[in-house]
Amino acid sequence: METSDVQSIDSIRSLRGAVLELGHDWDMAVQEIQFSTHRIKEHFTATLPAYWKSQTRAAEQSLAEAKNNLSRQAGVSSDGNSPATSEARQRVQLAKRRLALCEDKQRAALKIALQLEQACQELAGPIAEVLGHSSTTLPGAAGFLETLIGHLDQYAESAVAGRIDSARDQNADLKAADRDVAASATPSKDSETT
């Protein structure tokens, strides 16, 4: 088995923290996208069509009133060319243009609402994929890194303990060697007598 010199696993801890932070950031971004999408969808599928529908009703009512006013003016005037009749005709024409504009805007709003609904449905898939990564994949990767950090911590501790034991053994060997050298350098009592 090969060994390695694990001295610091701070970079792996930093990576784990970055993975968790990325998951949180993705969650926040998806929530903002969903909130904005909901507001835009609400505006273009409900608020805007309702506005133009009410404007169309108001324009229809204005046109009806302008036509009634024109009828009254034409009935009062003998030749139908009085200034009041002319003004009533202009109001009818303005009311018709306003009604046409409102109907065009109402049709456009409904078309936009349909296109936006389709775009939101197309966006739902990628959003779900990002949510899957941020809620499952990234936390899983962070868990794997946490397990790896635990194993590396244990390895580093055992490697340090092994180095300490090795240093003790070397120290004991050196002391034994020193005793042997000291013992051989000291003349024994037998050699002194001769």
- 31-55 per-position pLDDT tens digit: 999 999 999 999 999 999 999 999 9
pLDDT per residue as tens digits for the range 97-137? 999 999 999 999 999 999 999 999 999 999 999 999 999 99
Q: Does any domain span residue 177?
A: no
Q: Which are the contacts of 146, defined by CB distance < 8 A and separation ≥ 6?
A: 16
How many domains, the chain?
1
Q: Does any domain span residue 8?
A: no
On the question of pLDDT at 1 being above 50, the answer is no
> What's the pLDDT band for 181 if we cut at 50, 70, 90?
low
Q: Does any domain span residue 160?
A: no
On the question of pLDDT at 24 being above 90, the answer is yes
Structure confidence at residue 83 (pLDDT):
78
- Which burial class, exposed, middle or buried, applies to 152 when counting CB atoms under 10 A from its CB (0-12, 13-18, 19+)? middle
Structure confidence at residue 18 (pLDDT):
95
* pTM > 0.85: yes or no: no
Q: Does any domain span residue 5?
A: no
Q: Does any domain span residue 150?
A: no
> What's the pLDDT band for 189 if we cut at 50, 70, 90?
low
Under 8 Å between Cβ of 156 and 9: yes
Structure confidence at residue 2 (pLDDT):
60
Q: How many beta carbons lie within 10 A of that of residue 86, not counting itself?
A: 14
On the question of pLDDT at 71 being above 90, the answer is no
Q: Does any domain span residue 173?
A: no
Task: With CA atoms as reference, report the closest residue to 124 among 113, 112, 132.
Answer: 132
Percent of the chain, pLDDT > 90? 59
Q: Does any domain span residue 116?
A: yes
Instruction: In whole angstroms, give the CA distance from residue 85 to residue 163.
Output: 110
Q: Does any domain span residue 29?
A: yes
Tell me which residue range forms the domain holding 82: 22-135
